[in-house]
Amino acid sequence: MMRASIRSILVVDVGGTSVKCGMVVDRVPQAGERLFPSSSLRNADPVGSFARLVREFCAEAGLTPDLMVST
């Protein structure tokens, strides 16, 4: 069985004040971290809001992650 290669990782830290997004590519942290207010997730559709936030960050970074890690 072949193992898929993971080259890019989206890292998302969800905190009480802010949501911080960053990327790691080929084991190297990339410049261009982004902060979003956590208040943007406090609404009737927090999961949809989180998905939009992630899509926005990835579009701005011009990267498509192979994997996402969220804390």
Element (H, E) at 67: strand 67-70
Higher pLDDT pick, 3 / 4: 4
The burial of 13, by beta-carbon neighbours within 10 Å (0-12 exposed, 13-18 middle, 19 or more buried), is given as middle
pLDDT digits (tens, 9 = 90+) for 7-55: 999 999 999 999 999 999 999 999 999 999 999 999 999 999 999 999 9
The torsion defined by the Cα of 48, 35, 71 and 69, in degrees rounded to 10, comes to: 80
Per-residue pLDDT for 58 more than 70? yes
In this structure, the strands spanning 67-70 and 8-14 are parallel
**Helix residue spans in the chain (DSSP H):** 46-61
pLDDT number for residue 3: 63
Domains contained in the chain, CATH given: 8-70 (3.30.420)
Kindly report the pTM of this predicted structure. Answer: 0.86
